[in-house]
Amino acid sequence: MEKLETFEVREDDIIVVTYPKSGTHWMTEVIELIKHDGFVDKIERPKNKELIGCIEFVNSSGNTISEALENEPSPRLYFTHLPYHLLPPKTWTKKAKIVYVTRNPKDAAISFYRHMNGASDDPASQIPWDDFLDRFLSEKAIFGNWFDHTLGYWNHRDDDHVIFITFEEMKKDLRSVIRRLEAFLGLIITPEGLERILQHASLEGMKKTYAKIEKEHEFGSLITRIGNRPVLQRGLVGGWKEKFTVAQSELMDKMLEEKLKGTGLEAHYK
């Protein structure tokens, strides 16, 4: 974390922030497509494996991704799962663009659970669902719990350099989300570019892109997978119903009511 405290954030940086399994790679790809008017082949994938991952992660050289980013040219696009209070301090003084994506916590939980258990084939590393959910709801969760993480950014949604978007919005009306991002980022998309973005940013479009990356990129699997698990999963809204018990669902509903009361934030998961 010391490295992040001194990380030189730039005014033209674009930072995608999410709680884990809330659309990180999807949003990052959408922004790349917006920057390139939908021409997916013009997107420059990381040429250095030391640059792959969240800025807080440690790469194979033992350094954080943020350190590897120091020498990258502007404008930079990178992502993180860090809660608001742990972002590099210069994020706020430089007013870098923050694109925060939230996802209903029930779907985020089940996606995170499957992701963690799918990263390894070792049975000893598998986490029972009940244990995972208990940790997910507690302050012991990695990156903190969903409630504190989401509210930390929600409370800054009106800042000029922050935009707050939901995963569910992206699923329901990606066209409108793209237009919002276009205005927020100060970019211009042609009508033809918009159609290209919608095509390539669909789940099927991204799967095709990622399959090509795995085949052609020197270390493509590091971009498209974490361990054995593809970073692209099903991207469902409402998939939580396959795993949550009635009691677990009611417990989270109660916590949502208590934590979000008076904040104006709603969790869309029905």
51 Cβ contact partners less than 8 Å away, ≥ 6 residues apart: 59, 65, 68, 69, 72
Kind plus residue range of the DSSP H or E element containing 77:
strand 77-80
Say which of 81, 85, 149, 200 is annotated catalytic.
81
> Catalytic site residue 85?
no
* Residue 186 CA: distances (Å) to CA of 5, 12, 32, 43, 198: 28, 11, 14, 18, 19
Kind plus residue range of the DSSP H or E element containing 163:
strand 162-166
Nearest to 136, CA basis, from 103, 164, 168 = 103
What is the spatial distance between Cα 56 and Cα 176, in angstroms, rounded to a whole number? Answer: 31
Whether the CB-CB separation of 198 and 173 falls below 8 Å is answered with: no
Show the DSSP H helices in the chain as ranges. 2-5, 24-35, 65-69, 90-93, 105-118, 129-137, 146-154, 167-172, 174-185, 191-200, 203-216, 220-224, 246-260
Tokens representing residue 6 in the block: 């001194």
Whether the CB-CB separation of 75 and 14 falls below 8 Å is answered with: yes
What is the spatial distance between Cα 246 and Cα 50, in angstroms, rounded to a whole number? Answer: 43
* Residue 21 CA: distances (Å) to CA of 68, 126, 140: 24, 18, 17
For the chain, the residue count is 270
Question: Mind telling me the catalytic residues?
Answer: 81
